[in-house]
Structure 1
Amino acid sequence: MSKLLWDQNFPVLRLEGSGSRTFLQGQTSADIQQAEEGDLLPACWLDATGRVQALLEIRMDATGADVLVLAGAVDAVHQGFDRVIFPADRVRLKGIRQQRRQELLVQAQPMEPVNVFWTEDEPSASDRFPASEAANANQLDCWRLAQGWPLSAGELDGTTNPFELGLSPWVHLNKGCYLGQETVAKLASKGEVKQQLRSWRALSSELQGTVPQRGTVLRREGERAGVITSALEIPSAEGASQEWIGLALVRRQALADPQLTLDNNQGSIQMFKPQAFSEPPTRI
C-alpha cells in the first residue's frame, strides 16, 4: 500500500545578511541561535500579545535564511519583518518565491518537520520517498483534521495562542526576548489556557440535516462550550452513509466531555484530542 505524501508549493521569504539569525531570534518563537545550517525549524510568528499570526519553517544557511510560510498571510509576514528591519540589523529582506515542500504523512506524529524535505531540483515523489503517492486535497484534509494541524483561517484567525493550538514544541520558553514573549511566558507560568483545539466527528444522519461549518457554536448542558473551526464531509468508515469531521476550539471546562451539542440542539458530535496535539507546558 502506497504511503501518502503532502506535496505542495509554499511561499518563502529570503533574508540575506550576517544579522539574519539574530533578527529571526527576536521575531519568532524558535531558538534560531541554536539551529544548525540546513535544519528545518518550526516557528510561530506572533503579534505583541502572543497570538499566532503565521506558522513558519525556517532554514538557516551561510549567508542568511529562508522562511517558509506554512500557514498565514505571507504578505503580512513580509510587511511585519520589513517594518522592524533597521540598517544596524545587518539583514536585507528579499522577494517572495515559491518552494516545493514534501512531507510523508504519518499518523500520530508531532507537528515537527521530521519527514519533510524542501526540494530544489523537482525530483519525483518516488525518488525522495519510495512507495509513496501525492495525497489529493480530500486525503490531505482528512489527515490534517485528525492530526490537528491548525492550518485553516478558523484556527489561525489571529486570536489564538500557540498553547491553545497544540504548538508547544514550536515555542522555546528559555530563548530570551522575542515578539509576543511576555504574554507567552505568562501563559506558561499559569500552566493552563482557556481553550484547546479538538478533533470531532459525527454521522451526517445524526445531525438532523444540519451542515456544520466554521463558526458553529458548541454547547454543553446549554452553555457555550466552544466553536467549530473546520468541517469536512466525507464517506463514512462504515460505508453506510456520509460523516462529518473537523476541528473545534473547546473551552477548558468542556475538554473532558466525549461529546458536545451543536447550537439549537441540532445533533451531537464526538470529541477527541487530535493525534499530534501537544499539551501546554506545565506551570514553570
Structure 2
Amino acid sequence: MQDIKKFFWLEKFDCFSITGKDARKFLNGITTSNILNSENKVIKTCWLTPNGVLRALIEIIDLERNLEVIILAGKTDEIIDYFNQIIFPADDVLLSEPFLINRIQEIDESSSWRTYLPIFFKKEDKEFEIYKNKLNLLNPNDLKLWKINQAIPTFEMEINGKNNPLELGLKDLIDFNKGCYLGQETISKINNVSSLKQEIRIWKSIDSNFYLDAEDKNLYINSAKDISVGKITSIFKSDSQIKGLAMIKRKYLEEGSCLFSEIFGKIIINKSVGSIFL
C-alpha cells in the first residue's frame, strides 16, 4: 500500500508570553474559549470588541508556568496595548515583548485546519532546520489557496471591524457556558435568537470575461445588479482559477447557486470544511 503524501503549513507569527498566577483568569475574561478548564495544550480562541466583532484570531499555548499568545490574524500592537491597559495593579499578570515563532501543522483538503495539533519552534536553529527539511511544505501560493478553501479569516479582509465570529464560521471557538468575556452579551444574544445576517462562503469564478479594472466588490443576484447579496472579502488568482471568500446574506445562501460580480462575472458559492457551516 502506497503511503499518502502529507503536506504541512509552516508560517511565522507574532507571539508574546503572559506570566503570573492570574494569567489564565485574565485571558479567560477577554477571549471566547474556556482558558481555565481546557484540557488542550493549544487553545484556539477569538478576541472581540465589546460589541462582539472579531478583532483577532488567537492561539494560546499552555506551558503551565506561562501562556504564550500567538496572533494568527490580528494587529499585535493593538492587542498588547489593550491587554496592558486592562491589567489592574492588583493583578499578577505580566506581558513580554513580542517575538516571532515558527508554527508547523499538518494539513489536508478534507479536514478543518483545527483538526491537527501544531508544533512550535522559537528559534531557527539546527533542530528546526532538520525538522523542517523532512516535511513537504506548502509553497506560499498553495498555502494562500488552502487558507481560502479553509475560510481562515485574514486581518483587514474578513477581520474588518464588522464581522462577528459566528458569521465567520468560528462558533466552535466560543464557550457559551463559561461566563463573562469581552463581547459575550452580544454573541450570546445572536446565538440564542439565531439572528445571523450573513455567513462566510468560498466563491469561484466560472466566467471567462473579467473586468479587473472595476472596483465594485459587491455580489449581486444577477448581471443586472438588481439586488446586492454580499461582498467579496478575499481574492486568490492563479493561471487556472480565480476564487476567494465572501460574506453572503443568509437568504441568498443556496448551495451551488450562481451569483454575479462586476469584476469576475458569474460565480458559484460553496461551503468550507474549515467553518462550522457544513
Normalised to the residue count of structure 1, the TM-score between the two structures is 0.87
Question: 2:212 aligns to what?
Answer: 211
Alignment partner, residue 20 of structure 1: 23
Q: Kindly indicate whether the alpha-carbon contact (under 8 Å) linking 2:211 and 2:262 is maintained by their aligned counterparts in 1.
A: no
Residue 141 (structure 2) aligned to one of 138, 141, 145: 138
> For residue 233 of structure 1, what is the aligned residue in structure 2?
237
2:73 — aligned with what? 71
Q: Which residue of 2 aligns with 1:239?
A: none
Partner of residue 220, structure 1: 221
Q: Is the 8 A contact 2:107 2:116 kept in 1?
A: no
Match of 2:94 among 89, 92, 95: 92
1:96-135 to 2 correspondence within 5 Å? 96-112=98-114, 114-120=116-122, 122=124, 123-124=127-128, 127=131, 132-135=135-138
Normalised TM-score (structure 2): 0.89
Q: Helix, strand or coil for the counterpart of 1:114?
A: coil
**Does structure 2 conserve the Cα–Cα contact (< 8 Å) formed by 1:218 and 1:225?**
yes
Flag structure 1 segments of 5+ consecutive residues without an equivalent.
237-242
State whether residues 213 and 228 of structure 1, in contact with CA within 8 Å, keep that contact through their aligned partners in structure 2.
no
Shift of 1:152: 4.3
Deviation of 1:121 (Å): 5.9
Over the matched positions of the two proteins, sequence identity in percent amounts to 29
SS at 2:188's partner residue?
helix
Q: For 2:246, give the aligned amino acid.
A: A
Within the candidate set 143, 164, 168, 2:167 is matched to 164
Q: Which amino acid aligns with 1:145?
A: I
Shift of the alpha carbon at 1:82?
0.8
Q: How does 1:265-280 map to 2 (within 5 A)?
A: 267-279=265-277
Distance (whole Å) between structure 2 residues aligned to residue 197 and residue 115 of structure 1: 24
Which amino acid counterpart does residue 99 of structure 2 have in structure 1?
R
Question: Quick one: structure 1 residues 111 and 172, their matched pair in 2 at CA, closer, same or farther if it must change by over 3 Å?
Answer: farther
The answer as to whether partners of 1:214 and 1:231 remain within 8 angstroms in 2 is no
For residues 207 and 194 of structure 1, what CA distance do their matches in structure 2 show?
A: 31
Contact 2:56 2:73 in 1 (8 A): yes
| Change in CA separation of 1:168 and 1:24 when aligned onto 2, cut-off 3 Å | same
Counterparts of 1:18 and 1:82, CA distance in 2? 16
Shift of 1:58: 0.4
2:32 matched residue in structure 1: 29
Task: Give the CA deviation at 1:2.
Answer: 4.1
Classify 1:129/1:45 alpha carbon distance in 2 versus 1 (closer, same or farther; 3 Å).
Answer: farther
- The answer as to whether partners of 2:42 and 2:117 remain within 8 angstroms in 1 is no
Q: Do 2:149 and 2:272's aligned partners in 1 also have CA atoms closer than 8 Å?
A: yes
1:89-109 Cα offsets, whole Å, 9 max, x none, are 211122111111001122232
The answer for unaligned runs of 5 or more in structure 2 is: none
> What displacement does 1:113 show?
5.8
Aligned residues: 269
- Report if the CA contact (8 A) 2:13-2:102 is conserved: yes
Give 1:61's aligned residue: 63
TM-fit CA distance, 1:211: 2.6
Give SS of 1:142's match. Answer: helix
Instruction: Deviation per CA, 1:147-172: give whole Å up to 9, x if none.
Output: 11112421011211001101011111
Distance in 2 of aligned mates of 1:207 and 1:218: 17
Contact 1:126-1:133 at 8 Å conserved across structures: no
Once the two structures are superposed, what CA deviation does each residue of 1:214-250 show, in whole Å capped at 9, x if it has no partner?
86110014201001001111132xxxxxx20100000
**1:175 match:** 178
Which deviates the most, 209-218 or 95-104? 209-218
Question: Which 4+ stretches in 1 moved above 3 angstroms?
Answer: 120-130, 212-215
2:179 aligns to what SS in structure 1? Answer: coil
Deviation at 1:8, TM superposition (A): 1.3
Query: In the superposition, relative to structure 1, how do residues 125 and 250 fare at CA in structure 2: closer, same or farther (>3 Å)?
Result: farther
- The CA deviation at 1:61 is 2.5
How far apart in 1 are the matches of 2:38 and 2:148? 30
DSSP-derived class of the 1:56 partner: strand
Structure 1 window deviating more from structure 2 (215-224 vs 96-105): it is 215-224
Cα RMSD (Å): 2.3
